[in-house]
Structure 1
Amino acid sequence: MKIAGGCRCGAVSYRSISDVQVAIYACHCQFCQIWSGSSFALHAMLPKDAFVLEGATVEYSYQDQRQVAHHHLCASCHTRIYNTTSAAPGLWILRAGTLDDRAALSPVAHIWVKHKQPWLSLPATLATWPESPTPEAFAAALGAGD
């Protein structure tokens, strides 16, 4: 499937140049709660070389527990578009809310549920982990979005 999206103000856009498999997952970590201003953030891990990005972005980088993350935001409205991390080389962690077609978004997995808000109930049929899963377990769960 080809996908496209962008920031709130329209200054930054992206589009896939090839078909990509989109499997959405929800992260309930405290950082995602703060960054999103919500109880979790929706993401999709996609190959970085499958995209063309247009428009000016600014980067915010940090290191946490031996992992380095680089977040890319619209230089005008500061919508967070994607990040890269040393934990997943060669992949974009795309903010699913920036996709043009968001209507059918439904997570196939939930991570960092030890920080999940207590009022939120998750379907028992979806993969969940208290923290980050192993790369193998995560790949298997995201493959469930086929």
Structure 2
Amino acid sequence: MSTEVPAGSTADATSPPRRTARQGSGGTTFAGTMLLVIGSYQALIGIPALLNDTIYVTDAGHLYAFDLTAWGWVHLLLGAVVALVGLAIMRGAAWARWAGIAVVVLSLSVNFLFLPYYPLWSVVTIALDLAVLAALVMDRSDGH
């Protein structure tokens, strides 16, 4: 039995497999998956606001209150962007982690402002956004 390493091979048999650029750590995989889910739900929450704004309880007493049709567009467009960034994170795009942090901060802000209209959905989305933000910020798989 020979202990020689075949020509062209630089890895030894005991070393763990290396991650490729397309494979993320557990945190980025979680973040990408959750961004796809959050983006889908954001878009789905925007559709009823566009079609029938009486689904939500409105309160004109808030300073940041505006037409629910506008909220529908905001959620629909934000949901599409969040889902696309989640897909880019899952595919291993280099820019996607920072874009993910940016869209999660935007999603946090939008859902905070949406609290008076649909508190349960907003609180759940804020909690998921915070978990995704933590996963993206604490990820060290790119060596930085």
1 or 2 for the larger relative contact order (CA 8 Å, sep ≥6)?
2
TM-score tier by shorter-chain length is: under 0.3
More strand by share: 1
Higher helix proportion, which one? 2
TM-score norm. by structure 2 comes to: 0.25
Q: Whose radius of gyration is greater, 1 or 2?
A: 2
TM-score with structure 1 length normalisation?
Answer: 0.24
